[in-house]
């Protein structure tokens, strides 16, 4: 059985005052001859003390109700399949380039295929339609991140945030700050489902060692996992290419280095390389399978409030006192 707690325990110091009815009956005294020689009326004596006890209980129930008694609800284990997904979408200038390889002649004629951000946006909108049990939040970034939709069940807000995302070149791509902002969405929330940071980006950036330590700790604290949809054309290097592949001797491709960094941070991590809209759809399908795994979590039950029962008891007892007052003999008949 859960222990009883009080929201305002200081009010319990008033309980000794509830004994006042036992010290004074509060009934008007009449000047009549003594009745000491009469036989004792047991019924009247019991009734008189009964009224006093009812008054004590009525006052005590009011004091206890004012102190707001309650018991903690406790926790129960539940199993769910919904995921909390924060989409971190890159809107840097390179995301406006074509997702697929394109004939130079068509490019010269101005016949551009779908952009990387356009393809990602369409597939992510389909993802929301396919997963009604998930909650979504959206962060977009280029040189700085912007929280455009909070993590909630409001699908229309998240969809509007994705539809409005357009590529805009403004220098450095702040991928580490965008990931930190996405992880901030999980703060002060109970762990009720799989937590996923879905990074959609073409990379081409670096994370400083000091920022790496912060990200690693934040992923650990929030118990979130990371999935990177690496959108690129066939001309870009594969993430699996682990050798020095830059023209400068001793340098490593930034996306290969970024992939290796994510792998070394200790959180659950997967990367999907896509260079076509169909490939992007397949990556999202795999992500859906990964986040459909049952999740066991502790659900905190609401606390049980007992003040209302104390108030109800006091009303009943006061009603009895009023009724007894109505039938009380006001004065001796002459």
- Rounded Cα distance, 183 and 174, in Å: 15
* In-domain check, residue 332: no
130/46 same-domain check: no
- Rounded Cα distance, 131 and 39, in Å: 85
159/290 same-domain check: yes
253/129 same-domain check: yes
CATH number at residue 181: 3.40.50.410
* Two structure tokens written together for 5: 């707690």
223/236 same-domain check: yes
- Rounded Cα distance, 182 and 104, in Å: 38
By mean pLDDT, which of 84-88, 94-98, 129-133, 290-294 is the weakest?
Answer: 290-294
The pLDDT assigned to 103 comes to 46
Name the residue with tokens 């977009």. Answer: 140
Domain that holds residue 13: 4-73+302-326
- Specify the higher pLDDT residue, 295 or 161: 161
* In-domain check, residue 225: yes
- Domain tally for the chain? 2
68/95 same-domain check: no
Is the pLDDT assigned to residue 248 strictly greater than 50?
A: no
145/156 same-domain check: yes
Three-state SS for 299? Answer: strand
- Rounded Cα distance, 305 and 295, in Å: 30
Is the pLDDT assigned to residue 261 strictly greater than 80?
A: yes
Mean pLDDT of 267-271: 86
Mean pLDDT of 245-260: 66
Is the pLDDT assigned to residue 266 strictly greater than 90?
A: no
111/198 same-domain check: yes
12/148 same-domain check: no
pLDDT tens digits for 93-103?
778 777 665 44
Phi, psi (rounded to 5 degrees) for 228: -110, 115
Is the pLDDT assigned to residue 35 strictly greater than 80?
A: no
């Amino acid at each position: 059985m859960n222990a009883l707690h009080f929201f305002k325990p200081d009010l319990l110091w008033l309980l000794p005052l509830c004994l006042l009815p036992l010290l004074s009956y509060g009934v008007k005294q009449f000047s009549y001859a003594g009745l000491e020689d009469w036989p004792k009326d047991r019924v009247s004596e019991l009734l008189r003390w009964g009224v006093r006890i009812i008054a004590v209980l009525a006052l005590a129930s009011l004091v206890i109700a004012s102190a707001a008694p309650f018991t903690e609800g406790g926790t129960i284990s539940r199993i769910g399949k919904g995921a909390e997904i924060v989409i971190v979408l890159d809107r840097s200038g390179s995301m406006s380039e074509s997702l697929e390889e394109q004939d130079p002649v068509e490019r010269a004629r101005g016949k551009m295929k779908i952009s990387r951000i356009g393809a990602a946006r369409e597939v992510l909108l389909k993802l929301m339609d396919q997963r009604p049990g998930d909650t979504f939040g959206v962060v977009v970034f280029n040189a700085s991140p912007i929280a455009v939709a909070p993590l909630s069940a409001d699908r229309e807000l998240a969809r509007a945030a994705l539809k409005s995302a357009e590529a805009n070149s403004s220098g450095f791509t702040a991928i580490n700050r965008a990931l930190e902002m996405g992880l901030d969405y999980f703060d002060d929330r109970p762990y009720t489902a799989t937590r996923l940071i879905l990074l959609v980006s073409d990379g081409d950036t670096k994370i400083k060692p000091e920022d790496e330590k912060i990200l690693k700790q934040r992923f650990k604290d929030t118990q979130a996992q990371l999935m990177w949809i690496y959108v690129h054309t066939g001309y870009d290097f594969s993430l699996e290419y682990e050798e020095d592949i830059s023209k400068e001797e001793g340098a490593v491709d930034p996306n290969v280095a970024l992939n290796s960094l994510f792998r070394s941070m200790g959180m659950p991590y997967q990367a999907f390389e896509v260079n076509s809209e169909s490939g992007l759809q397949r990556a999202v399908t795999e992500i859906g399978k990964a986040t459909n795994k049952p999740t066991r979590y502790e659900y905190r039950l609401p606390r049980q409030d007992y003040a209302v029962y104390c108030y109800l008891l006091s009303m009943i007892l006061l009603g009895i006192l009023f009724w007894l007052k109505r039938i009380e003999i006001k004065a001796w008949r002459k």
